[in-house]
Amino acid sequence: MQYDFNKPIDRWDNNAVKYDEMEQKYGRRDLVPMWIADMDLCTAQPIMDAMDARNRQGMFGYTSRPDSYFESVCQWQEKHNGWRPDPARCIFSLGVVPAICTCVREFSQPGDEILFLTPVYGEFFDSVENWDRKPLTVSLIEQDNHYTLDFDAFEEALKRRPPLFILCHPHNPVGKVWSEEELRRMGELCVKYGTLIISDEIHSDLMLFGNKHIPIASLGGKIAENTITCTSATKTFNLAGLQAATIIFPNQELIAKYQKFWKSLDVHRNNCFSLVAVEAAFRHGEEWLTQLLAHLESNVLYVEGFLRENIPEITMARPECTYLLWLNCKGLNLPGDALPNFMVEKARLALNDGRAFGKEDGEGYMRMNIACPRSTVEKALSQLKQAVDQHMGR
């Protein structure tokens, strides 16, 4: 079927975080919300049909998970990424972030340093610091808005023997897809220094402009044996509110240690709606995803052209993945709090402050979510142009 991703959807007063918590976060309600990473787009019809059918049963008791659930996850990985995980090594989680938090808790000790690359999804910092661990960060090298990894700096960090390396793969917020060569070098160095890899691959289905995702565990050998992979249908199919992720382990020993914590809380089942939604997504959602990616690419190209022609002070690299744009706003000469304040008070936009992804590496950047109808993007850029023109005296 044909999906209309340009149809506006009213999410106000519907308990949507992006809308109903915006005033609490930004101090205003009259902003274009383009911050938290979910979509202002309806999910695939087969998912809604499966949830409707489940709802019509009228009973919502304890829910058993069939073997077909994790089989659908593994079949999707095989078809899209050429990697066939073992369903017996797949574990349910309430989300990728809870899984990362649990891995930090169970596979390291208080006071340990946990390695990751910045700028990066801000929850990485919280996942480490909330368990009394210390972030050990390596800054990505930026040149003309493109990012690469300094492998010498990465190895120097590994020499400190951090127990864990949390890999954002693909990388949020810079929109980078890691190459096989980069993944292999990272993986081999982690094996060398005894650092377990936690690979956050939640954005891995959102590949743009012909880019391909390579699960780091698909490299096989010792790298696969040293990698825990975190996946989910929630980012791909806009299902975050259903709280369901799949964590793929290399062995039963790590599974037992991870599960000990969750079993102590008696958390190990899907809710009845996430159960059917996830399986429907992976079995019947491909047509929707293909159309979604075309829509996202179109929005990216529109923003890219608009900035180039109208707001040269703000630049960006074309993202290789995700629906998140990493905007370099340094040309506005608005240091510190002045930049996010400008976006809120002058441009009337709710974007993510780049400093949330690393205080130094994110300075001068804003993250924009373009998973929305084109009309929303057009309104946001029109407001941004007007604000920048006034700021620059044009």
* pLDDT tens sequence across 332-388: 999 999 999 999 999 999 999 999 999 999 999 999 999 999 999 999 999 999 999
Kindly state whether residues 66 and 143 are assigned to the same domain.
yes
Residues 190/196, Cβ–Cβ less than 8 Å: yes
- State the pLDDT confidence band at 40, using cuts at 50, 70 and 90: very high
Note whether 154 and 245 are same-domain residues: yes
Based on the domain organization, do 197 and 310 belong to the same domain? no
- Classify residue 105 by burial, with Cβ atoms within 10 Å: 0-12, 13-18, 19+: middle
pLDDT cut 90: percent of the chain above it: 98
- Report the interhelical angle of 286-310 vs 374-392 (nearest 10°): 20
Do 339 and 267 share a structural domain? no
pLDDT of 220 reads: 96
Give CA angle at 265 (263, 268), nearest 5°: 50
Q: Residue 253 sits in which domain range?
A: 48-284
Q: Is residue 79 part of a domain?
A: yes
Residue 1, classified by CB atoms within 10 Å of its CB into exposed (0-12), middle (13-18) or buried (19+), is: exposed
User: CB-based burial of residue 119 (10 Å sphere; 0-12 exposed, 13-18 middle, 19+ buried)?
Assistant: buried
Structure tokens at 10: 């009213």
Last-in-domain residue among 284, 300, 323: 284
Q: What residues does 167 pair with on adjacent strands?
A: 199
Clarify whether residues 82 and 207 are in a common domain.
yes
**Arithmetic mean of pLDDT over the chain:** 97
Question: Are both 253 and 325 inside the same structural domain?
Answer: no
pLDDT at 161 over 90: yes
Picking from 284, 314, 339, the residue at the C-terminal end of a domain is 284
Residue 266 contacts residue 252 (beta carbons within 8 Å):
no
**Which of 253, 284, 315 is the last residue in one of the domains?**
284
CATH number at residue 130: 3.40.640.10
CATH of the domain at 293: 3.90.1150.10
Same domain, 36 and 80: no
Assigned domain for 5 exists: no
State the pLDDT at residue 206: 98
Q: Mapped to the 3 state alphabet, what secondary structure does 152-164 carry?
A: HHHHHHHCCCCCE
Do 256 and 340 share a domain, yes or no? no
- 292, 279: one domain: no
What are 262-312's pLDDT values in tens digits?
989 988 899 999 999 999 999 999 999 999 999 999 999 999 999 999 999
Do 33 and 93 belong to one domain? no
Q: Does residue 262 contact residue 102 with C-beta atoms inside 8 Å? A: yes
208 and 265 housed in the same domain: yes
Task: Determine, yes or no, domain membership for 168.
Answer: yes
Percentage with pLDDT > 70 across the chain = 100
**Domains contained in the chain, number:** 2
pLDDT at position 268: 87
Q: What is the pLDDT of residue 174?
A: 98
Neighbouring residues of 201: CB distance < 8 A, sequence distance ≥ 6: 169, 170, 213, 215, 229, 230, 231
Shared domain for 214 and 321, answered yes or no, is no
